């Protein structure tokens, strides 16, 4: 983690998505300021709290930027609204796109249920390395 500035070296790290290509695609959206939200299953080990900062890794596991959680809420899959889907920044940013993409994503993990609980997080980009 030598690319990480000293003041961030104690932070937890993660990559978006479930594979190298998706990690790189979503990281690019974050760096361009398009993606300012994300969600995960409520049992995900990388749960966050507002004010917490994270090192975001690319698809090769290299550190690329720092984000800071600004809001964390828990909602069922069907309760995610168009504003949150837009902030996730993926595809055409519509709620329909979000629902289809996340049904597929959580389905690949064997976790999808229409009533599943999600940790919905908004964040801000702090620094790009």
Residue 43 is predicted with a pLDDT of 79
Altogether, the residues listed in the chain come to a count of 129
Under 8 Å between Cβ of 80 and 40 = no
Residue 21 is predicted with a pLDDT of 96
Low-confidence ranges of the chain (pLDDT < 50): none
Residue 48 is predicted with a pLDDT of 86
Contacts of 20 (CB under 8 A, 6+ apart): 59, 60
């Amino acid at each position: 983690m030598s690319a990480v500035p000293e003041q961030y070296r104690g932070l937890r790290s993660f990559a978006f998505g479930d594979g190298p290509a998706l990690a790189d695609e979503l990281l690019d959206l974050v760096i361009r300021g398009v993606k300012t939200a994300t969600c995960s299953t409520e049992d995900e080990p990388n749960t966050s709290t507002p004010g917490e900062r994270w090192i975001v890794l690319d698809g090769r596991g290299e550190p690329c930027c720092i984000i800071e959680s600004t809001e964390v809420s828990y909602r069922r899959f069907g309760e995610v609204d168009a504003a949150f889907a837009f902030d996730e920044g993926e595809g055409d940013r519509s709620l329909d796109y979000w629902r289809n993409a996340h049904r597929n994503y959580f389905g690949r993990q064997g976790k999808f249920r229409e009533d599943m609980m999600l940790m919905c997080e908004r964040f801000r980009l702090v620094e790009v390395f």
